[in-house]
């Protein structure tokens, strides 16, 4: 499974939704999203990719695609 699939699967599982049609929207705009779920999603992504995001990195995330790119960069930096 690639990094994008990991991120999207974690989001869909935690928000209990079947699909994400647009990754250029804020995570909090999706159905069932709240601040606690957002924290859980971030933690599960970190565990799945084996890297922890810094506070500064998290503050730069505006839309889901930002989270995907950040996750990809973390994985690629470790190669």
Find where tokens 């690629």 sit. 76
Please, are residues 70 and 46 in contact by the beta-carbon 8 Å criterion? no
**Residue 52 neighbours by CB under 8 Å, 6+ apart:** 46
DSSP 29: G
Distances (CA, A) of 30 to 37, 61, 76, 77: 11, 15, 28, 29
pLDDT of residue 79: 64
Superfamily of domain 3-77: ACP-like (1.10.1200.10)
* Cα maximum dimension of the chain: 35
pLDDT tens, residue by residue, 1-58:
899 999 999 999 999 999 999 999 999 999 999 999 999 999 999 999 999 999 999 9
Structure tokens at 3: 């990094």
Model's pTM, two decimal places?
0.93
């Amino acid at each position: 499974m690639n990094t994008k699939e990991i991120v999207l699967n974690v989001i869909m599982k935690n928000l209990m939704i079947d699909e994400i049609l647009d990754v250029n929207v804020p995570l909090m705009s999706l159905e069932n999203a709240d601040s606690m779920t957002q924290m859980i999603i971030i933690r599960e992504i970190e565990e799945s990719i084996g890297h922890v995001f810094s506070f500064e990195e998290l503050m730069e995330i505006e839309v889901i695609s930002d989270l995907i790119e950040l996750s990809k960069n973390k994985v690629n930096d470790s190669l």
